Amino acid sequence: MHGPAFDPILVEVVKNELAAITEEMAIAIWKTGRSAMVKTGDFATALCDGKGRLIGQGYAAPFQLAFLMRAVECVVEKFGEDFQPGDVVLSNDPYAGMTHMPDVAVITPAFWQGKRVAFSVAYSHHTDIGGRFPGGFSSQCTEAFEEGLRLPIVKLYDAGKCNEALLQTVLANVRMGEEWLGDVEAKIAGCRRGDREVMALLDKYGPATFAATCDYLIDYSEKAVRRALAEVPHGTYVHEDLFEEDGFGSAGVALPLKVTLVADGHTLAFDFAGTAPQAAGAINLPISMTTATVLSAVKGLVDPDVLTNAGFTRPIRIAVPEGSLLNPRYPAAVGGRAPLFFRVMDLLSRVLAKALPERVPIPGEGGDVLHFTGRRQDGSEFAFLDIFFGGWGGRPNQDGIDGVAPMAFGSYGTIPAEVLEREYPIVVEGFGYVPDSGGPGKHRGSQAIFKQWRFRGPGRAMVRTNRLSRPNAGLAGGEAGALSRNVLTTAKGTEDLPRKAHMHLHVEPGDRLYHVVSGSGGHGDPLAREPHRVLTDVLDEKLSLEAAAAQYGVVIDASRLVVDEDATAALRASRRRA
């Protein structure tokens, strides 16, 4: 849509209609999904044009859209023109665009007057995919074959006819088969809703306008990203880290992570040379997710209105050594990749902060998980995955936000305690902030979040922890947040659990698990934080009187709960001299 035919109002209308379609798809999935994960938002929807190019901002987080781009490209590469109305494609292959096997994508082609004009896409995390461990995402697997059923981009429906043999094979290999099928059918319903709405869009505007609008939106995203990248100071920036987990919780692990960022005013090039070779355990990050993590980090540099679509990716160069932690060779196991993913997100934020120290925040902590599976007294199976986040790290001009998912995660929520307790044999005994745990800084990092569960029935539990031996560090003089913790209480007593990314437990009725997500680092000198903001944190019970003095040099009169200005000035002066 260029030249004299360009109609900016029409482009804006169509863009928002496309966004509305993805929301309609999401509503259909949310209302019909079976698992607690789908009911609380761990899914995404998107639309691609007839070529398979992602065109708009779907109901999805930036990193979800980024890997779905590659997933749909792989589908088109496999089937070419072999699509018909009524086709439904499944894929969970981490070596074909997806990120681990529990994430299952549904892709359907949309046809208008016999011509393929779009693809509707939906994915969600399933509570099981078979394999050695319930859930399919333990770091303790050593090959893809242990992790569950890998679907190598296959049609579940071919021209409207269900592949019953495929469906029976899947259901014979996954736990919670009815729930698995229910979530897939919910995604199919969402995609079919998307197909119908796209066809209605074509009825309204015609194929030429639709195709031109898609081209324009893709080109516009590219130009917008290039404008944003022109503001990044030219240069080469390097950041390194050590990842302390090999998948098995071995002591003394220190796997190098390294990224070199080159900004030339037109592009950003990310090179991960120097990163450790792929691990034996399932902590490896498939290239699709490494790429998606880079793109979601760049998204924070551009205007929020810029669509994460095929054009967004054009100015970004990504080089990852094959056979490394961030680009493993098949059949390396990748199911437990989340702790490394969060660390790479942190790595990227910190290298970008070297280029743009006044704009880039600390990404934050969380994505910790309890997975619990077993059988009820009536013999029926149950499984759920409870995910929650700590919040954002300190920002160059504001505090972090407590208890929210990173910006790259979009719609992720936490399963309400009422849902868990109604549907599963578990009680949520506590969920809240941990005082004194946010990283001190001029702008404080988010508080650590705790959750405590009491098991009402026997089963197998797995707890995933994303920050193990080193806390989330501060920036620009800020200090680290508090470290994560897992405590198990049984009839035998209470113990702190070993520091592993994925801890597998057999639990009995009455056992309790207390989990703390790490606090996030602060930004800027803690002694530069305004005393009245420290007092506010004390009044909000996020900070104790003792921590106000120890972390920020702020003395608060305990009897009147006001800042003692003279004592604070003296304490801060002595700290600065020291």
Inform me whether the pLDDT recorded for 2 exceeds 70. Answer: no
Predicted confidence at residue 405, as pLDDT, reads 87
CA distance 432 to 36: 21
* pLDDT reading at 271 higher than 80: yes
Position 410 scores a pLDDT of 65
Over residues 451-466, the mean pLDDT reads 97
**Is residue 401 scored above 80 in pLDDT?**
yes
Q: How wide is the angle at C-alpha 459 spanned by C-alphas 453 and 465, nearest 5°?
A: 50
Q: Which of 270, 273, 286, 483 is nearest to 365 (CA)?
A: 483
Lowest mean pLDDT among 5-19, 67-81, 112-126: 5-19
Strand 448-455 vs strand 512-517: parallel, antiparallel, or unpaired?
Answer: antiparallel
**Other beta carbons within 10 Å of 6:** 11
Q: What is the pLDDT of residues 489-516, one digit of tens each?
A: 999 999 999 999 999 999 999 999 999 9
φ/ψ bin of 214: left (φ > 0), alpha (ψ from -120 to 50), beta (otherwise): alpha
Beta bridge partners of 356: none
* Helix, strand or coil, per DSSP, at residue 344: helix
Q: What is the pLDDT of residue 58?
A: 80
Res 481: pLDDT: 97
d(CA 278, CA 355): 29
Mapped to the 3 state alphabet, what secondary structure does 30-69 carry? HHHCCCHHHHCCCEEEEEEECCCCECCCCCCCHHHHHHHH
Residue 235: both structure tokens together = 């240069």
How many angstroms separate the Cα of 258 from the Cα of each of 270, 340, 397? 10, 13, 27
Supply 142's token pair: 């050593």
Quickly state the pLDDT bin for 578 (edges 50, 70, 90).
confident
**CB of 470 closer than 8 Å to CB of 507:** no
Tell me the CA distances in angstroms from 540 to 527, 544, 545, one per residue in order: 20, 10, 12
**Range 234-253 average pLDDT:** 96
Q: Terminus-to-terminus CA distance in the chain, angstroms?
A: 64
In this prediction, residues 42-62 reach a mean pLDDT of 90
Residue 4 confidence (pLDDT): 45
Helix (H, G, I), strand (E, B) or coil at 488: strand
- Helix or strand or coil: residue 375? strand
Query: What does the alpha-carbon distance between residue 186 and residue 32 come to, in Å, rounded to a whole number?
Result: 5
Q: Read off the pTM.
A: 0.95
Instruction: Band the pLDDT of 402: cuts 50, 70, 90.
Output: very high
**One-letter amino acid identity for 133?**
F
Average pLDDT, the chain: 95
Share of the chain above pLDDT 70, in %: 99
pLDDT-derived band at 5 (thresholds 50, 70, 90) equals: low
pLDDT at 128 over 50: yes
User: What span, in angstroms and rounded, lies between the C-alpha atoms of 500 and 483?
Assistant: 13
pLDDT at 3: 43
What is the average per-residue pLDDT within 195-210? 96
Task: Identify the pLDDT of residue 411.
Answer: 60
Q: Which residue has the tokens 């196991």?
A: 333
With residues binned 3-state (H G I as helix, E B as strand, rest as coil), the percentages for the chain, rounded to 5, are: 30, 25, 45
Report which of 231, 230, 246 is spatially closest to residue 284, judged by C-alpha positions: 246
Question: Can you tell me the distance from the alpha carbon of 523 to that of 520, in angstroms, rounded to the nearest whole number?
Answer: 10
CA 339 to CA 324: how far, in whole Å?
A: 16
Q: Going by C-beta distance under 8 Å and a sequence separation of 6 or more, which residues neighbour residue 535? A: 548, 554, 556, 561, 562, 563
- Model confidence at 408, pLDDT cuts 50, 70, 90, reads confident
- The rounded distance, in Å, linking the Cα atoms of 245 and 501 is 7
What are the φ/ψ torsions at residue 556 (nearest 5 degrees)?
A: -115, 130
Is residue 494 classed as helix, strand or coil in its secondary structure? strand
Burial class (CB in 10 A: 0-12, 13-18, 19+), 146: middle
407 confidence band (pLDDT: 50, 70, 90)? confident
Query: If pLDDT is split at 50, 70 and 90, which confidence band does 40 have?
Result: confident
What tokens does 54 get? 């992602």
Pairing of strands 493-496, 426-434: unpaired
